[in-house]
Amino acid sequence: MLSRETINRIIIIGFMVLVGFCLAKAIYYNSVMGIILALTSLGAGIYFLYILAKAKEEMEAERVR
């Protein structure tokens, strides 16, 4: 059975692949709204990963104390 960390990574990679696909399709069809929405989704995903890493770092710091 897959560990929780592996499942989380698969979900995150899957999300980023889907956002990249949507961005590519929006560029292909010259859709300004699609490009804006795909870039917003990409930014939200990157910001989520930043917050996740920061929270994990804080949890480790609390565990050490």
Angle at 30 between CA 24 and CA 32, to 5 degrees: 95
What pLDDT, on a 0 to 100 scale, did the predictor assign at position 64?
84
Angle at 39 between CA 25 and CA 19, to 5 degrees: 55
What pLDDT, on a 0 to 100 scale, did the predictor assign at position 8?
92
**CA distance linking residue 10 with residue 3, whole number of Å:** 11
Tokens of 14: 């899957």
**What confidence tens digit (pLDDT) does each residue in 11-62 have?**
999 999 999 999 999 999 999 999 999 999 999 999 999 999 999 999 999 9
Q: Which domain holds residue 57?
A: 4-64
How many structural domains is the chain composed of? 1
Tell me, yes or no, if the pTM score tops 0.75: yes
pLDDT at position 65 over 80: no
What pLDDT, on a 0 to 100 scale, did the predictor assign at position 1?
83
